[in-house]
Structure 1
Amino acid sequence: MRSTSERKEGPEGAALLGQAVETYRAALEVRTRADHPVHWAMTQNNLGAALQAQGSRTGGPEGAALLGQAVDAYRAALEVYTRADHPANWATTQNNLGNALRKHGTRSSGPVAAALLGQAVDACRAALEVHTRADHPVQWAMTQENLAIIEAARAQQETCPVPAPHLRAALAHVEAALEVYDPAHMQYNHQKATALRDRIRAALDGA
């Protein structure tokens, strides 16, 4: 249901996302952590994705609240998806958490926003402990791109006194991603990351 709802636009898509959230919450009444810990964590991760999509489509405080709930769901999943026991799921969920924190941070302001964006960086860096370039090059590159987006957002944040260091970090991350994004075989990713690199370079020139 979630993948279908994410493709739908307007009220229909929003309604389907709401139904997805309700369905995952209902599943958690049976898939409890005590009785089904791995399925509970998987459902928490899916709930987080649905809440994140719903929050991204919803404006104002309501949308920010939904993104906060997505963060909570991903963090709940990480209580079971530990690095020791489930390294791949742990890394994927850390990356998901980083994205949700970034979106929540860009919808917030002041010190709260700065803290959320800092936590987003921490989550993505954690993912890179497992998603290494040697073993998982595509996931590594995508997380590098996510870090570039987060660092660029930190540079634009109102409490950031000096944006240049964050912009330089963002540029390094996106250039790392472009080392993996082959323009022949990953054209969309390469074009998107190239456009991001160009925006970061322009921001640095104006910093």
Structure 2
Amino acid sequence: MIAVGEQKHLQWSEAQYTRGNELLRLGQQERKLSKLAEAIDAYHAALTGISRARLPRQWARIENNIGIATFMIGERANDQERISEAIGIFRQALDEGRLAQSAADRGATLKNLGIALLALGQRKGERGALSEAVASFEDALKELDPDRSPAEWAAIKVYFGDALIGSAALERQTENRSRAIMAYREALAVFARIGAPRERAMVQVKLGSALLANGDAERDILSAIDASREALKALSGEADSMQRLRAEIGLGNALKRWGESTSDRISLEEAVDSYRRSLSMLTRRDSPLIWASVQNNLGGALAILGRIEGDATKMREAISAFRSALEEWTPERAMRENEIVRRNIVRASSALESVK
């Protein structure tokens, strides 16, 4: 039987936990770091009102939420130390609730740990963190029943794919990229089954990018084109603007790859149109490096068209796009990319002389 004094402590702890949840919600919604910091304080206050030994499940749940708030602060402030701190908190929550956590709670904490590890691995280029993220998502999936929690299971599958893509990029592993493609397709099947078109479209964007990175196989390029087009059909409105931009860029990249490999003018012209639509969705001030990347890709598509058609006007347009890219891809900000674009200009200038 719980003593009266202990009951009051538990009630106070529950009130602080509820307050922390509301502050966490506001911090997510309003993107205010101060609200997230207040949420952490409320959660720490909640922990003082319960016994870790007697209530390990509740303790682990509060620790998990402290980790979420800490991670959000780290991600929004680009603070790697706070992200690392969040990783430690999630691990502690898993350790504390090892025997008491429900499968759902443990799966959620493993997912959160994976997300934090993925963010750290992507920022620092750490293979170890990305490998741990893959393992965390795999463990999280084991805790969930895809039939009982299909949306959550599919969301974790997508994160799992993201971690595999990150690992493949660092280690140049085609195996991990192939596993990621499979994970994205499994998630797509679930989102289609439960009727989640927006989530499905977002995964189509990722799938298209992964397929294109997988090589120059005809099947992969055509599948990437189809995935990007399917995504664009479902994405609309202000809330989807960034995903629509990614899909548009992905479509341009896939069409350019196909047009270049087959000398298909129609695909190259569609790629040019796709890149120009992408530029109309971008502001150079807010996204200078993405803007430069699209300008470079636009220049590449125009240059290929110019060579195929012997069109000096398109070659000049290509050179102009390359030069625009250099305005943001300076040697100080993007040395490797700057060198690539300069080589593109040399090739395009040489081709222009031959078609004059």
2:226 is equivalent to residue 72 of structure 1 = yes
Instruction: Read off the aligned partner of 1:92 and give its amino acid letter.
Output: R
The one of 73, 95, 117 equivalent to 2:249 is 95
Q: 1:153 aligns with which of 304, 325, 337?
A: 304
The CA distance in 2 between the partners of 1:170 and 1:184, in whole Å, is: 23
The aligned counterpart of 1:36 is: 196
What is the CA-CA distance between 1:77 and the residue it aligns to? 1.0
Aligned twin of 1:123: 274
Give the 3-state SS of the residue equivalent to 2:332 in structure 1. coil
Are the structure 2 counterparts of residues 30 and 45 from structure 1 closer, same or farther at C-alpha, using a change threshold of 3 Å? same
Aligned AA (1:130): M
Q: CA deviation at 1:7?
A: 4.3
Q: Does 1:14 align with 2:177?
A: no
Contact residue 137 and residue 180 of structure 1 kept, 8 A: yes
Unaligned stretches of 5+ in structure 1? 57-62
State the match for 2:312 in structure 1.
Answer: 164
Per-residue CA distance 1:79-120 (angstroms, 9 max, x = gap) = 2222554122211211111011100111214xxx11100110
Query: 1:121/1:73 Cα in 2 relative to 1: closer, same or farther (>3 Å)?
Result: same
Residue in structure 2 matching 1:3, options 166, 183, 190: 166
Q: Structure 1 residues 94, 101: closer, same or farther in 2, change over 3 A?
A: same
Contact kept? 1:48, 1:70, Cα under 8 Å: yes
Work out which of the residue numbers 137, 159, 170 in structure 1 matches 2:288: 137
- The two structures have a TM-score, normalised by structure 2, of 0.51
Number of residue equivalences: 192
Q: Give the share of equivalent positions with the same residue, in percent.
A: 29
Which stretches in structure 2 are left out of the alignment for 5+ residues? Answer: 1-163
Match of 1:114 in 2: 265
Q: Distance in 2 between matches of 1:53 and 1:182?
A: 25
Which amino acid in structure 2 is aligned with residue 156 of structure 1? Answer: R
- Does the C-alpha gap of structure 1 residues 134 and 33 become closer, same or farther in structure 2, counting only changes over 3 Å? farther
Give how far 1:38 is off: 2.4
Tell me what 1:186 maps to: 334
RCO higher in structure (CA 8 A, sep ≥6) = 1
Which amino acid letter does the alignment assign opposite residue 313 of structure 2?
P
Structure with max Cα Rg? 2
Aligned partner of 1:196 in structure 2 is 344
- Contact preservation (8 Å) 1:33, 1:40: no
| Kept after mapping to 2: 8 A contact 1:64/1:107 | no
